[in-house]
Amino acid sequence: MIDMETAVMELIINAGEARSCAMQALYAARKYQWDQVDILLAESQLAAKRAHATQTELIGFDEGGRQAAGQSDYGARAGPHHERHAGARSGGGTGENLPITGAERGEKPMSVFPKDFLWGAATASYQVEGGFDADGKGLSNWDLFSHLPGTTYQGTNGDVAVDHYHRFREDVALMAELGMQTYRFSISWPRLLPQGRGEVNEAGIQFYSDLIDELLKHNIKPMITLYHWDLPQALQEEFGGWESREIVDAFDEYARLCYQRFGDRVELWSTFNETIVFIGMGYITGAHPPKLTDPKKGIQACHHVFLANARAVKSFREMKINGQIGFVNVLQPNDPISDSPEDRRACELAEGIFTHWLYDPVLKGEYPAELLAMAQQAFGVPYFAPGDEALLKGNIVDFIGLNYYKREMVAHNDDVEGYAINTSGQKGSGRELGFKGLFKLVRNPNGVYTDWDWEVYPQGLTDAIGRIVKRYGNIPIYITENGLGAKDPIVEGEVRDQPRIDYLRDHIQAIGAAIEQGADVRGYYPWSFIDLLSWLNGYQKQYGFVYVDHDNNLARKKKQSFGWYQRVIASHGEQL
What's the confidence (pLDDT) of residue 428?
A: 79
Confidence grade of residue 47 (pLDDT, cut at 50, 70, 90):
confident
Query: Quick one: average pLDDT of 395-417?
Result: 93
Nearest CA-CA partner of 288 in 419, 379, 414, 182? 419
DSSP code per residue over 370-419: HHHHHHHHHH--PPPPTTHHHHHHT---SEEEEE----EEEE--SS--EE
Closest CA to 522 of 181, 258, 219: 181
Residues 6+ apart with CB under 8 A from 65: 3, 4, 5
Active site residues: 274, 481
Is 474 annotated as contributing to ligand binding? no
Confidence of residue 407 (pLDDT cuts 50, 70, 90): very high
The pTM of this model reads: 0.82
Indicate if the pLDDT at residue 50 is higher than 80: no
- Is the confidence at residue 274, as pLDDT, over 80? yes
CA distance 532 to 164: 10
- The predicted structure's pLDDT at residue 359: 98
Q: Is the pLDDT of residue 106 over 60?
A: no
In this predicted structure, the answer to whether residue 552 has a pLDDT above a threshold of 90 is yes
Nearest-angstrom CA–CA distance, 159 and 452: 24
Query: With bands split at pLDDT 50, 70 and 90, how would you rate the model's confidence at 467?
Result: very high
Span 188-202, pLDDT tens digits: 999 999 999 999 999
Are 479 and 402 in contact by the 8 Å Cβ rule? The answer is: yes
Q: Is the dihedral of CA 283, 305, 346, 92 positive or negative?
A: negative
Helix (H), strand (E) at residue 200: none
pLDDT, residue 423, reads 82
181 known member of a binding site: no
166 is in an annotated binding site: no
The answer on whether 228 is annotated among ligand-binding residues is yes
339 has a pLDDT exceeding 70:
yes
| Residue 405 annotated as part of some ligand binding site | yes
- Among 17-21, 111-115, 233-237, which stretch is predicted with the lowest mean pLDDT? 17-21
Average pLDDT, the chain: 88
pLDDT at residue 20, as a whole number:
65
